[in-house]
C-alpha cells in the first residue's frame, strides 16, 4: 500500500512533467524556422504575428495569376524563393512554415509545373514558392501554391502577409486587374476536362476551327439566321446598347444527328476570331460555372454546350439539376454582356419542360433538319469534288438516299473511293463505284449503319412539336 508521502511525490512528479510539456510546446511554437526568419527579416516584424490574407485561384486561372505575380515581382525588384520540406509543405499552414520544431522549413529551390497557354504553347508556373516584394510602400510576402487535388487542394492559393493590411488588400485588387489584362485565356477556344479525382484540371486549349459557309450545306436561310443572331448582335453591340437592348442571347440548335449542328458551331467559331469561346460537350457541361465566369470576364464571348440532352436523366427524360445550372448561368450574366450561349441537342423533347419553365433564357430555336432533295444534291457534289464522278450519277444517288444526312453522304463517298482503290486498275472512281457503294449502304443489312450515320429509320425519335418549341423559345428579355 502506498504511503501518503509516496502519493504526494507522485503528484509532484506529475505536475513537473506537465510543466515540462507546456514549456516544450511554448518553445516549439516560438522557434522560428529558417524560412520564418527570412520572412521576418523581409517584413520587418515577427512573421508569426502578421495576419494572413488568402486568395483562392481556380485551376484554369493559375497561369494568369503566375503571369501577374511575375510582373509585380519584377517591377518591384522582388525575390522568389522555394521552400524545402518535401510533401510536408502541402499539408502545412503558413503558421507551420514559419514556426515548427519538427520540420525545419527553409528557403530552397522553387517548385514549378508546366501549364498550357495555348494549343501548342506552355509556360512554367510556380507550383510552390514564396515571393518577397514591396507594394504601396510596405513589405509583402506571398506564399504561392498551385492546385494539388491529391493533397485535397482543388484550387491554387495565394497567402499574403504584410504588416499593413491595406497594402495587402490593394495588392489583391491589382493582382485581379492584371490577371484580366494579361490573361492567356482571352480570345482563345477553351474546354475543360476533369482530373482523375473528378475535378477541374484547368483550361484545355483547342485550335480555332476554319470552317467557311461553303463547307456547310443546310436548307436555305438556316445558316444565315443563326449567324445573324450569334455574330450579328455582337457586330452591332454599340447600337443595341445605345437603344437599351440586351446583348446576351441563347440559341438552341436541334435536329437529328449528322445534320450539321456541330459544323454550324465550328463555323460560328471561325467567324469570331477575337472571341473567347468555351466548348463543353456532354458530361463536361458540369463545368458550366467556370465557363460562365470566363464568358463574363472576357467578352465578347461564346459558350457552346454540345449534346446538352446528355445531361438529362435517361429515366423518364427528366432533366438533371445540371441543366438548371446552365439556365442559372444564363440568368447570372448581365443583359448587356456580349455573351452568346449556343446549345445543340439531338432530342429536343427532353429539354422542352426545362426551357418552358425558364422562358427567355433561350431566345432562338433553330431546327437543323434532315436535308431535302436539293440540299442532298449539294452535299453529294461537295463531298465528291474532284473525284471525276458525273453530276448525273451524284444527283441520282442523292435522290435515292432520301432521309439521310451529311454524315451518310460523307461515308458514301469514302466507300466509293475505297472500292476504286481495292479494284486497283488505275481508273479512279467511277459512277459504277458510286452505285455499288450506295447499294451496299441502302441494303437491308446496313440498317444499323444508316442509323449510326443519322439516317431516318423506323426507330427514329418522334417528330417534334415545332409550334410548342418555337413558342417556348420566342420570349425575349
Residue 473 banded pLDDT, cuts 50, 70, 90: very low
Considering only CA atoms, which of 180, 185, 174 is closest in space to residue 142?
Answer: 174
Q: Which of 147-156, 172-181, 418-427, 445-454 is the least confident region?
A: 147-156
Whether residue 284 contacts residue 193, with contact meaning beta carbons closer than 8 Å, is answered with yes
- 105 and 126 assigned to the same domain: yes
Residue where a domain stops, chosen among 302, 335, 370: 370
**Residue 195, in any domain of the structure:** no
Residue 20 lies in a domain: no
Taking the model in full, what pTM does it have?
0.80
- How many degrees, rounded to 5, is the angle at CA 365 between CA 377 and CA 297? 115
The stretch 223-249 carries a mean pLDDT of 86
The two beta strands, 138-145 and 122-135, are antiparallel
Q: Which pLDDT does position 28 carry in this prediction?
A: 47
pLDDT surpassing 80 at residue 79: yes
- Please say which residue of 311, 338, 370 terminates a domain: 370
**227: in domain:** yes
For 128-149, the pLDDT digits (tens) are 999 999 999 999 999 999 877 6
In a domain, 194, yes or no: no
In this prediction, residue 20 has a pLDDT band, given cuts at 50, 70 and 90, of low
Relative to beta strand 52-57, strand 156-161 is antiparallel
What is d(CA 383, CA 406) in angstroms, rounded to the nearest whole number? 9
**Are 162 and 247 part of one and the same domain?**
no
- Per the structure, the count of domains in the chain is 3
Q: What confidence score (pLDDT) does residue 249 get? A: 86
Contacts of 191 (CB under 8 A, 6+ apart): 203, 204, 206, 278, 279, 280, 281, 284
Q: Which residue has the higher pLDDT, 418 or 330?
A: 418
Same domain, 53 and 134: yes
Most confident range (mean pLDDT) of 281-285, 322-326, 394-398, 405-409 is: 394-398
What is the DSSP secondary structure assignment for residue 229, as one 8-state letter? Answer: I
CATH assignment at residue 420: 1.10.8.60
Co-location of 218 and 361 in the same domain: yes
- Per-residue pLDDT band for 246 (boundaries 50, 70, 90) equals confident
Q: Is the dihedral of CA 405, 407, 412, 417 positive or negative?
A: positive
Is residue 95 located within the same domain as residue 36? yes
Residue 255: inside a domain: yes
Q: Are residues 349 and 434 in the same domain?
A: no
Q: Are 226 and 344 in contact (CB under 8 A)?
A: no
Boundary of a domain, candidates 370, 395, 415: 370
Report pLDDT digits (tens) over 162-178: 999 999 999 999 999 99
For 50-63, what is each residue's pLDDT tens digit? 999 999 999 889 99
Q: What is the C-alpha separation between 303 and 342, in angstroms, rounded?
A: 6
17: in domain: no
- The answer as to whether 342 is a domain residue is yes
Do 397 and 352 share a structural domain? no
C-alpha span between 391 and 216 (Å, rounded): 19
- Whether the Cβ atoms of residue 333 and residue 223 lie closer than 8 Å to each other: no
Q: Is the pLDDT of residue 90 over 80?
A: yes
pLDDT of 316 strictly over 80: no
Q: What is the CATH number of the domain that holds 353?
A: 3.40.50.300
Q: Are residues 306 and 445 located together in one domain of the fold?
A: no
Same domain, 148 and 237: no
By the 8 A CB rule, do 143 and 130 touch?
A: yes
Residue 99 sits in the same domain as residue 123: yes
Element (H, E) at 173: helix 165-181
For the chain, give the mean pLDDT.
84
Residue 156 near residue 172 (C-beta atoms within 8 A) = no
pLDDT of 76 above 70: yes
State the CB neighbour count (10 A cutoff) for residue 424.
7
Which phi and psi angles does 28 have, rounded to 5°? -65, -40
Residue 35 lies in a domain: yes
49/144 same-domain check:
yes
Are 113 and 57 in a shared domain? yes
Q: Which domain holds residue 427?
A: 373-452
Residue 384: HSE in the Cβ half-sphere, 13 Å Cα cutoff? 28
Amino acid at each position: 500500500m502506498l504511503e501518503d508521502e509516496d502519493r504526494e511525490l507522485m503528484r509532484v512528479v506529475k505536475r513537473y512533467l506537465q510543466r515540462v510539456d507546456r514549456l516544450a510546446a511554448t518553445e516549439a511554437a516560438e522557434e522560428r524556422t529558417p524560412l520564418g526568419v527570412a520572412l521576418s527579416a523581409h517584413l520587418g516584424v515577427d512573421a508569426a504575428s502578421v495576419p494572413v490574407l488568402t486568395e483562392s485561384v481556380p485551376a484554369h486561372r493559375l497561369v494568369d495569376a503566375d503571369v501577374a505575380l511575375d510582373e509585380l515581382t519584377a517591377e518591384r525588384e522582388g525575390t522568389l524563393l522555394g521552400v524545402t520540406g518535401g510533401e510536408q509543405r502541402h499539408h502545412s499552414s503558413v503558421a507551420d512554415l514559419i514556426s515548427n520544431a519538427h520540420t525545419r522549413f527553409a528557403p530552397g529551390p522553387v517548385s514549378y509545373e508546366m501549364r498550357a497557354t495555348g494549343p501548342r504553347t506552355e509556360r512554367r508556373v510556380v507550383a510552390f514558392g514564396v515571393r518577397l516584394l514591396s507594394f504601396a510602400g510596405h513589405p509583402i510576402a506571398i506564399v504561392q501554391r498551385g492546385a494539388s487535388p491529391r493533397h485535397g487542394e482543388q484550387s491554387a492559393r495565394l497567402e499574403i502577409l504584410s504588416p499593413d493590411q491595406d497594402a495587402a488588400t490593394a495588392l489583391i485588387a491589382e493582382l485581379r486587374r492584371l490577371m484580366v489584362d494579361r490573361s492567356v485565356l482571352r480570345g482563345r477556344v477553351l474546354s475543360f476536362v476533369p482530373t482523375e479525382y473528378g475535378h477541374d484540371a484547368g483550361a484545355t486549349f483547342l485550335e480555332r476551327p476554319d470552317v467557311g459557309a461553303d463547307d456547310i450545306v443546310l436548307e436555305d436561310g438556316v445558316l444565315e439566321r443563326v449567324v445573324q443572331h450569334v455574330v450579328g448582335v455582337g457586330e452591332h453591340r454599340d447600337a443595341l446598347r445605345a437603344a437599351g437592348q440586351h446583348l446576351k442571347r441563347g440559341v438552341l440548335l436541334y435536329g437529328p444527328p449528322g445534320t450539321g449542328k456541330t459544323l454550324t458551331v465550328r463555323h460560328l467559331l471561325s467567324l469570331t476570331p477575337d472571341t473567347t469561346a468555351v466548348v463543353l460537350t456532354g458530361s463536361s457541361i458540369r463545368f458550366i460555372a467556370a465557363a460562365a465566369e470566363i464568358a463574363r470576364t472576357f467578352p465578347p464571348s461564346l459558350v457552346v454546350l454540345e449534346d446538352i440532352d446528355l445531361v438529362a436523366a435517361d429515366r423518364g427524360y427528366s432533366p438533371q439539376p445540371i441543366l438548371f445550372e446552365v439556365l442559372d448561368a444564363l440568368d447570372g450574366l448581365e443583359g448587356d454582356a456580349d455573351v452568346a450561349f449556343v446549345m445543340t441537342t439531338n432530342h429536343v423533347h427532353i429539354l422542352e419542360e426545362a426551357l418552358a419553365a425558364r422562358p427567355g433564357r433561350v431566345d432562338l430555336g433553330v431546327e437543323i433538319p434532315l436535308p431535302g432533295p436539293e440540299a442532298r444534291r449539294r452535299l453529294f457534289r461537295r463531298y465528291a469534288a474532284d473525284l471525276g464522278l458525273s453530276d448525273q450519277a451524284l444527283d441520282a444517288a442523292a435522290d435515292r438516299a432520301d432521309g439521310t444526312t451529311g454524315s451518310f453522304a460523307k461515308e458514301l463517298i469514302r466507300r466509293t473511293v475505297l472500292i476504286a482503290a481495292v479494284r486497283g486498275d488505275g481508273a479512279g472512281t467511277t459512277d459504277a463505284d458510286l452505285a455499288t457503294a450506295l447499294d451496299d449502304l441502302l441494303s437491308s443489312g446496313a440498317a444499323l449503319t444508316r442509323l449510326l450515320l443519322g439516317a431516318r429509320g423506323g426507330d427514329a425519335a418522334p417528330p417534334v412539336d415545332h409550334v410548342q418549341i418555337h413558342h417556348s423559345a420566342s420570349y425575349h428579355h
